[in-house]
Amino acid sequence: QVTLKESGPGILQPSQTLSLTCSFSGFSLSTYGMCVGWIRQSSGKGLEWLANIWWNDDKYYNPSLKNRLTISKDTSNNQAFLKITNMDTADTATYYCARRSTEGILFDYWGQGVMVTVSS
């Protein structure tokens, strides 16, 4: 059974760095073809893809967030991470992690999401 669960600080102040963890089970990020991605959704708005990390440690980022994103993984502990620097109120959103199956189906399983609020 595939499950993913995001965790994060809940609230942080502008200019701080957001650190998110995606803890998953039912698959391994060391398996050929596997990938985990991060997507966010501002309140009442649409979905925005942020980054992907692949089994071979290839990484892809949304250029709209320029150099603020860093994605990483810990395959031993079945976790993926996302850091976003210089957080702003505009980054207030629900952050999701989702996986790509080895059969090539992108974002077939999603976590429940974690709400992050940026406020002074």
Q: Is 85 in the site for other proteins (CB under 8 A)?
A: no
Q: Are 27 and 46 in contact (CB under 8 A)?
A: no
> Please, how many CA atoms are within 13 Å of residue 92, restricted to the half-sphere of its CB?
12
Q: Is 11 in the site for other proteins (CB under 8 A)?
A: no
Residue whose CB is less far from other proteins, 37 or 73: 37
Q: Is 108 in the site for other proteins (CB under 8 A)?
A: yes
Q: How far is the CB of 120 from other proteins (least distance, A)?
A: 27
Q: How far is the CB of 34 from other proteins (least distance, A)?
A: 15
Q: Are 59 and 71 in contact (CB under 8 A)?
A: yes
Residue whose CB is less far from other proteins, 10 or 46: 46
Dump the DSSP string for 60-97: EE-GGGTT-EEEEEEGGGTEEEEEE-S--GGG-EEEEE
Q: How far is the CB of 40 from other proteins (least distance, A)?
A: 11
Stated as kind and residue range, the H or E segment containing 25 is strand 18-25
- Give the integer Cα–Cα distance in Å for 91 and 26: 30
Q: Is 107 in the site for other proteins (CB under 8 A)?
A: yes
State which of residues 7, 19, 48, 85 lies at the interface with other proteins (CB under 8 A): 48
Residues that bind other proteins (CB under 8 A): 37, 39, 46-49, 52, 60-64, 96, 105-113
